[in-house]
């Protein structure tokens, strides 16, 4: 945890979440010895699990409260999902790749009862059935935040997403206020692009 502290992570709840969620369970067995390196690791299907410092920056930027309901776009390995579950009341997570969703569900279930609803679908359209959300995290780069996600954020809610093109983006926080949106730059980021599913599911 000292490494995260040295990188500006001072939210005690976020640091505690990293203490209690075993990252090695969320990476392929062949890479488990590298699970705690501060580096992204491949998880199959051309996808990666982000480095711990990036997860920590995203989580700190969300400013989560224990009563928050969170939408996660891009379950991936499920590691960030488990961290979110430690920091909030309920997590709704969407993954476009069915096999990744299945693997993530298996590990999350093995960790014990977590308040996580997981579905396979197009995360760019959100999950209207359970909207609005106190916080939304997008785990893939977007050129701009999809309107559907902005609409599913409560007044006072926060959305964190990497915004930009190419291999480098800016990690942006959008805060919805009674009079509009406030956008803040949280620093550089590097994520794979958000790809809608070929057969997009309804957001319901």
User: Residue 173's Cα: distance from chain center in Å?
Assistant: 13
Catalytic residue of the set 50, 88, 93, 139 = 50
Helical residues (DSSP H) of the chain, grouped into ranges: 2-6, 12-20, 52-62, 79-87, 98-110, 147-151
Label each residue of 15-36 as H, E or C: HHHHHHCCHHHHCCHHHHHHCC
Cα R_g (the chain), whole angstroms: 16
Quick count: other Cβ atoms within 10 Å of Cβ 71? 28
Catalytic, 139? Answer: no
User: Encoding tokens for residue 178?
Assistant: 């009674």
- Which residues are tagged catalytic? 50
């Amino acid at each position: 945890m000292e490494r995260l502290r040295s990188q500006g992570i001072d939210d005690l709840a976020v640091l505690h979440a990293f203490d209690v969620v075993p990252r090695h369970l969320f990476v392929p067995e062949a890479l488990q010895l590298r699970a705690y390196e501060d580096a992204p690791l491949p998880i199959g299907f051309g996808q990666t699990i982000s480095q711990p410092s990036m997860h920590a920056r995203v989580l700190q930027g969300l400013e989560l409260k224990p009563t928050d309901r969170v939408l996660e776009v891009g379950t991936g390995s499920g590691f960030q999902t488990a961290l979110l579950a430690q920091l909030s009341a309920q997590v709704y997570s969407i993954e476009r790749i069915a096999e990744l969703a299945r693997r993530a569900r298996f590990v999350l279930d093995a960790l014990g009862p977590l308040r996580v609803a997981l579905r396979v679908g197009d995360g760019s359209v959100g999950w209207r059935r359970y909207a609005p959300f106190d916080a939304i995290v997008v785990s893939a780069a977007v050129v701009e935040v999809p309107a559907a996600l902005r609409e599913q954020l409560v007044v006072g809610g926060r959305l964190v997403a990497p915004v930009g093109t190419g291999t480098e983006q800016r990690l942006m926080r959008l805060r919805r206020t009674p009079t509009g949106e406030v956008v803040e730059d949280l620093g550089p980021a590097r994520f794979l692009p958000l790809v809608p599913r070929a057969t997009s599911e309804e957001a319901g």
